[in-house]
Amino acid sequence: MASAQLPETTAFMLERQSTQSTDAPKGLLRVNATLGFGRNHIAPLMSKYAKLYPGVQVQLPLTVHPLPVTDEAFDLCCASCI
């Protein structure tokens, strides 16, 4: 299932980015996701990431519909098309 692989890919990308530097990541990470997908897949990953890197403030607003790709209010937008 491709949708089950997306959270793992996202987690891998976040971890890879954060381990490429000798400094711990810090700042604001803005992630948007659709309700069900975000609650079931992204929120648990964001919780683990925030505990691993306490210098990162995580925002995860969930929306009913995917946001337009042109919306620059987020660093990452996740949507599931099942």
pLDDT in tens, 33-54: 999 889 999 999 999 999 999 9
At residue 61, does pLDDT exceed 80? yes
Do residues 74 and 33 lie in contact, with contact meaning Cβ atoms separated by under 8 Å? no
**pLDDT computed for residue 31 by the predictor:** 92
Q: Is a pLDDT exceeding 80 seen at residue 3?
A: no
> Using an 8 Å Cβ cutoff, are 38 and 65 in contact?
no
- Residue 57, beta-bridge partner list: 28
Show the domain range for 62: 24-82
On whether residue 56 sits in a domain, the answer given is yes
Assess if residue 8 is contained within a domain. no
SS (H, E, C) the chain: CHHHHHHHHHHHHHHHHHHCCCCCCCEEEEEEEEHHHHHHHHHHHHHHHHHHCCCEEEECCEECCCCCCCCCCCCEEECCCC
Q: Is residue 49 part of a domain?
A: yes
- Distance between CA 15 and CA 38 in Å, rounded? 18
CATH of residue 75's domain is 3.40.190.10
Token reading at 77: 């937008």
Structural domain tally of the chain?
1
